[in-house]
Amino acid sequence: MSAALSMYETSVPVFLRALRNLRHALEKGEAHARAQGYEPTVLLQSRLYPDMLPLVRQVQIATDTAKFGAARLAGVESPRFEDVETTFDELYARLEAVAAYLGTFDDAALAGSETRTVTLSTRTRGDLSFDGRGYLLGFVLPNLFFHAATTHAILRHNGVPLGKLDYLGPAD
């Protein structure tokens, strides 16, 4: 019988994989735009529907979700970013900064976090309170995957040749 998964194993490596795959999709998007002869930054303001956030915000929210997720589970303060990215290179730098930050966490940092109370304020639903396990499984992971999948869908909608394996990434 195998050992139970730790909170670290079910969070940080999953966050890193999602962000790595997100970068891969962005790189394919940038390359596709260049090959088609248009300015790649056009993609950053693309949306699936007028009332949805543009691609750049999807990436910003995905990275925030990962860094705040790890920090809140560990009971520490997360670095803040200004959300000023306007180029692919700036988004890549943001992804790298978040990956480096996530690299500062280990099993010990998240030990016991499954029962830690996590409270966050939202614009539309007020304050939400979870135990760590509920926060990770019911809030962080679904949000991270939503924004990663929406980024993928925006790129695909704009003709970038992406498939499911681009979203899933290589088998580890």
46-61 residue pLDDT tens: 999 999 999 999 999 9
pLDDT band at 1 (very low <50, low <70, confident <90, very high): low
Number of Cβ atoms within 10 Å of the Cβ of 114: 17
pLDDT over 70 (residue 2): no
Q: Say which residue the tokens 């956030």 belong to.
A: 53
Does an H or E element contain 42, and which? helix 41-44
Please tell me the predicted confidence (pLDDT) of residue 171. Answer: 79
Output the pTM of the full model. 0.95
Cα 159 to Cα 51, 91, 106, 155, 162: the distances in Å are 21, 20, 39, 7, 8
Is residue 163 helix, strand or coil?
Answer: coil
Does an H or E element contain 32, and which? helix 12-36
